[in-house]
Amino acid sequence: MFSLSVFAQQPHAETGDATSDSTASDAPCESIVVVGNGPVGFRFLRDMVDRQPRTRREITVFGEEPLPAYDRVNLTKYLDSQSADALQYEPRSWYESHGVALHTNDPVINIDRTTQQVTAASGRVVRYDRLVLATGSRAFIPPIPGTDLDGVFAYRTIDDLERIRDAARGGRRAVVLGGGLLGLEAADALKRLGLQVFVVEMAPVLMPRQLDNEGADLLRRMVETQQIRILTQRQTQKITQIEEGLHVQFSNGESVVADLVVVAAGIRPRDELARDCELELGERGGIVVDDGLKTSDSCIYAVGECAVHNGTIYGLAAPGFRMATTLVDRLRGIEAAFSGSNEATRLKLIGTNVVFSGDYLDLTRATTLAHETADAYTKLIIRRGRLVGMIGVGQVQQQDRLQEAIDQKRRVFLWQTRRFQKSGRLWSSDAGIGVAAWPAQTMICSCNNITRGDLTVATERGCLTVESLAASTGATTSCGSCLPLVQQFCGQTRVTSKSSRADTLVAAISGVAFVLLGFLIFAQPVVLPTTVQTAVTLWQTLLQDFFWKQVTGYSLTALTLTSLLITVRKRTRMFRNVRYASMRVVHVAMATAALAVLIAHTGFHRGSNLNLALFSVFIAASLSGSVVGLLAGLEQRLPVRLRGLRRPMTLWHILLLWPLPLLIIFHVVSVYYL
């Protein structure tokens, strides 16, 4: 047994049965046994090593496979490299250097909860204080006659891929049973081996658990362009061996003859050990855990695909990784909790982009919006006026902005829904704010639970490239779907605006507005002569001549109201064909011109009562608008923290603008009609 310094806090902090020690070296050595050396089990080990390296622990991990933990998310890449090392997270030396006792090819076969001991197939017995079950899942093999024949394979491990590759040599045709995520991944692998592939799915559509009919139909068309044949609504009746190969027969009388068959009909949690030692299981299997990942035994925890949390078994890597991280925090004494997982999942299925984000499965009290073209389908889920989920197939427009909006549950307005239904775009501009200006809590890499704030902290430590950020945080190292966001964060692929000249104009005009506002706020009112003996001045003409007073007054009203009208460009069809950036320049220019006319109309006199209120609101709205203009025009040159001020300042600007029409009407009525 090896000693490992892992935690800085009390070993039993969660259950409150530990006492404080003066130093970490005086703490009793706690034995932690991890059953399962898959991706989630390894994440648990790595987080223990990386996050709390002081208190002594004895760590033992048992793995069923002969290899140390490797990346099953990218299992198909094994066919490209043909090297298990390319998928391996860390070599055996990593475990040794961190004091982890790794036993591969030696599965645990018994858990004795009374003595708190596990027994492995080799006969090795290890006592535990904390037992972590990360046994994952196994491929589900339906009770179809013939699935035990030579040439019928599961698709789950490197060993499976090696056997599939050997069987594919000299073969021409393969059948995949299952049209879900795993089945399409297997079909991609078989296609890379040069085989003609048939995908068989019992449901009417592909990926029935994730996609609606429209999205699934588009996915099917895209997959079939890759010379993969899709057979839906086919129930496999039996598989028999004939002279030509494996005869796959369906209940409707049809059949396909193939050289090999891959069963990818789903997964089932590996809960045999838990069942044998009488831990609580879910109705459909899986080890029941609470928000702290604790099972019905206070010393045993479960993470990953073997665990069932609130009735849900998660079949993707990201939720399992989050469970592992949560459990590490929990054992450190932090009140962390796993509350479920619905983060964005981006997949590249046979060259086709498929994305799920947020609450895409729960349509309770939700409104859905859909937009479909020949090569793209997007569905948005809106609940209580806020964007909470998305499903996309193909090239989803404004995908990154949609992900950020879902994460922040941003409000969706009526004019945005109309735009989306017509064009597939929720916003008129693609640029938005760059990833670096997203809220700190926005998820960037759901596989590794990396937020924008985590990336920022890493850059402050000197990680300025995608490679260094990946090494420091783990972002991009799992499924790789977050790579574009991390690249954008690093500036390797910046969000460039097509109207950079417009941004410069907006910043310059906003600067002029600041100067005019300074005069309006601090300049002394113009003093007019009190005797007719004095020559008439320009100020007298502007302030006392009724005609010019009307000219400046109505000009000011027209400029203000037109500027206000432009602010509703997203709500009206009037400016639909005018570029957003151009309208912003016009808006800022008219608002600045209104400030100049206000000086001519008032001579820096603030007035009293209603006039003072109108003057004050106008100045406040203009001041906030000028700040927004500067932030928008100089966004690419500003620090991240300053960029983040743009959104709240825009909100204040809008709130201050809308009292103006009513105040102007009151002013006109009071001057001319009262």
Q: What is the pLDDT of residues 6-42, one digit of tens each?
A: 333 333 334 333 333 334 445 567 899 999 999 999 9
pLDDT tens digits along 198-243: 999 999 999 988 888 899 999 999 999 888 999 999 999 999 999 9
CA 369 to each of CA 209, 356, 376: distance values in angstroms, whole numbers, following the listed order: 19, 15, 14
Query: Are the C-beta atoms of residues 438 and 403 closer than 8 Å to each other?
Result: no
pLDDT tens digits along 250-289: 999 999 999 999 999 888 999 999 999 999 999 989 999 9
Cα–Cα distance between 25 and 632 in angstroms, integer?
55
The residue among 347 and 431 whose pLDDT is bigger is: 347
pLDDT tens digits along 494-547: 444 344 577 788 888 888 988 988 888 888 888 776 655 555 577 777 777 778
CATH class entry, domain 345-490 = alpha beta
Helix (H) or strand (E) holding 617, with range, is helix 609-633
Q: Would you state the structure tokens that stand for residue 70, as one six-digit string? A: 């490797």
Question: Which alpha helices (DSSP H) does 411-545 contain, by range?
Answer: 414-423, 452-460, 466-473, 483-490, 500-522, 538-544
Residue environment code for 6-33, b if the CB has 16+ CB neighbours within 10 A, otherwise e: bbebbbbbbeeebeeeeeeeebeebbbb
Amino acid in the structure at residue 516: L
pLDDT tens digits along 451-497: 777 888 788 777 778 888 887 787 877 666 677 778 878 875 444 43
Question: Given a cut of 90, is residue 1 above it in pLDDT?
Answer: no
Sequence ranges of the domains in the chain: 4-138+269-331, 152-265, 345-490, 500-672
Q: Would you state the structure tokens that stand for residue 157, as one six-digit string? A: 């491990």
pLDDT tens digits along 99-146: 899 999 999 999 999 999 999 999 999 999 999 999 999 989 999 999
pLDDT of residue 10: 35
Query: Are the C-beta atoms of residues 184 and 205 closer than 8 Å to each other?
Result: no
Residue 257 CB contacts under 8 Å (≥ 6 apart), including other chains: 173, 242, 244, 245, 246, 247, 248
Find tokens 């069932």 and name the residue: 308
Query: Are the C-beta atoms of residues 635 and 433 closer than 8 Å to each other?
Result: yes
pLDDT tens digits along 349-368: 677 888 888 888 778 889 99
Question: Given a cut of 60, is residue 576 above it in pLDDT?
Answer: no
The residue-averaged pLDDT of 179-192 equals 89
The domain made up of 152-265 has a fold known as: FAD/NAD(P)-binding domain (3.50.50)
Q: Say whether 345-490 and 152-265 share the same fold.
A: no
The residue-averaged pLDDT of 543-570 equals 77
pLDDT of residue 2: 34
- The superfamily (CATH) of domain 4-138+269-331 is FAD/NAD(P)-binding domain (3.50.50.60)
The residue-averaged pLDDT of 567-588 equals 60
Question: Given a cut of 80, is residue 191 above it in pLDDT?
Answer: yes
pLDDT tens digits along 618-644: 889 888 888 888 887 776 566 656 666
Pairing of strands 196-201, 228-232: parallel
pLDDT level of residue 82 (50, 70, 90 thresholds): low
pLDDT tens digits along 637-652: 666 566 667 777 888 8
Strands (E), 67-212: 100-103, 108-112, 117-120, 125-127, 130-133, 137-139, 152-154, 173-177, 196-201
CA 319 to each of CA 12, 140, 264, 283, 463: distance values in angstroms, whole numbers, following the listed order: 25, 20, 21, 20, 26
Find tokens 């309770």 and name the residue: 364
Pairing of strands 173-177, 152-154: unpaired
Q: Vertex 36, ends 34 and 41: CA angle to 5°? A: 70
pLDDT of residue 669: 76
pLDDT tens digits along 308-335: 999 989 888 888 988 999 999 888 888 8
Residue 225 CB contacts under 8 Å (≥ 6 apart), including other chains: none
3-state SS assignment for residue 108: strand
